[in-house]
Structure 1
Amino acid sequence: MDSPAAFIDRTLRAEATEWRTWADGDASVGGLRVYGASVGAVRGTVRDALRRYGDLQHDEVTAVASELWSVPVLERRLAAIVLLQRYVESLTGNDLTRIEGFLRDARVADLIEPLTVDVVRPLLARLRGAESDRARRIVARWASSDAESLRTAAALL
């Protein structure tokens, strides 16, 4: 059996439609390739992957999200966000380093906003004590970052 990320990628490619991919004459957005799968198809694909592979543990979730994010394809990255949204309760303050990397390389608002609002915000709200203090320092640093995507994320928080 292939990995959850491979299953998601294969399914998203199958969900692609030429109309969505080529509607504006280009198969990329913000430098990211586009398969042409709808947001609903991305969400359904992640749901199907979780049914197929069972409940994932923290390390598996972050590994699958990283594997999906590693290829510059809009739908793969959106699937990584959907996965993180689903498992946001299992994320820790240490995961902000990985998420910061995702934000730096997000390239488009359609990825920055849901990653910030639906993953980072609830994560920050859940953290307590020293872990919360550390996470808030990290996010405060984003506001003055040289990366526009991190400044945008900080403003959304």
Structure 2
Amino acid sequence: MTTTSDAADFIDDALQYESSWERAEDYERRFGTGLTYYGASVGAVRGTIRNAERRFAGLGHDDVTALAADLWSRPVFERRLAAVVLLQSAVRLLRHSDLTRIEGFLRSAQVPDLADPLAVDVVGPMLLGLRGQDAARAASVLDRWAAGQDPALRRAAVLAHLPAFRSGRGDDAAFRRTVRLVAGAGAGAGRERVPAVDDAVELVRGSGAA
């Protein structure tokens, strides 16, 4: 019987096969020493996930989220990027309750090249697919991110609006609420405004937000 562990091993082996020490050194110069780098290209990561989805066809919600967690559990850049690509490809399966797991990923992402795709390519599209109470619960989670102390979560709360505005379905009132919460968090006692969060606000505004 195939397990998510089998799929994770398949993905890890493929990523190591695609490794390049020159690229690994380049990643370390760009992103720092907080992660390990195999040196596989972004294209190789995406191709590996496509191959895994064919080899392990029929993965359901629990399989996808467990596999993403397995890949993320080791601080290897390419494994974590593979988890992001996997969630992106299976975003239709995701539920509002998965934001708890994604929050953990965002807190430990360490680099924007992992955190930003989680916000823009996973959280944002997921929000567009939610309705009713599920949408309301998800919105309350993003409010908490926006008002919290973690700059990565504040930036993610802002960037999650980007897919909606890019598709012409942005909610100006909801975005303004996020901006107010982010500004309040940045203005709290002993806190400073974070340029990366401000840049995210301007990026969304540039896509059509009021």
Question: Which amino acid in the other structure matches residue 95 of structure 2?
Answer: T
Give unpaired runs (5+ residues) of structure 2.
161-210
Aligned-partner SS, 2:75: coil
Deviation for aligned residue 1:152 = 1.2
Q: Percent identity?
A: 53
Q: 1:21 to 1:141 in 2, by over 3 A?
A: same
Distance, in Å, in 2 between the alignment partners of 1:46 and 1:3 is 13
Partner of 1:52: 55
Give the AA of the match of 2:50. R
**Secondary structure in structure 1 of the residue aligned to 2:147:** coil
The residue that corresponds to 2:36 in the other structure is: 33
Q: TM-score by structure 2 length?
A: 0.71
Superposed CA offset, 1:125-148 (max 9, x none): 111111111100000110122222
Deviation string, structure 1 residues 66-121 (Cα, Å, up to 9, x no partner) = 00000001100000011001110010111111111111111110011111111100
| Aligned mates of 1:61, 1:25 — CA distance in 2 | 28
Residues 27 and 35 of structure 1 are in contact (CA less than 8 Å); yes or no, is this contact kept in structure 2? no
Which of the two has higher C-alpha Rg?
A: 2
Which structure's relative contact order is higher, taking Cα pairs within 8 Å and 6+ residues apart? 1
Tell me the number of residue pairs that the alignment of Structure 1 and Structure 2 aligns: 157
Q: Secondary structure at the match of 1:95?
A: helix
Question: What is the aligned counterpart of 1:67 among 53, 67, 70?
Answer: 70
Amino acid at match of 2:67: V
Which residues of 2 match residues 1-157 of structure 1 at below 5 A? Answer: 3-23=6-26, 29=32, 31-157=34-160
| Change in 2 beyond 3 A, CA 1:26/1:136 | same
Structure 1 unmatched runs, 5+: none
Q: Alignment RMSD, CA only?
A: 1.8
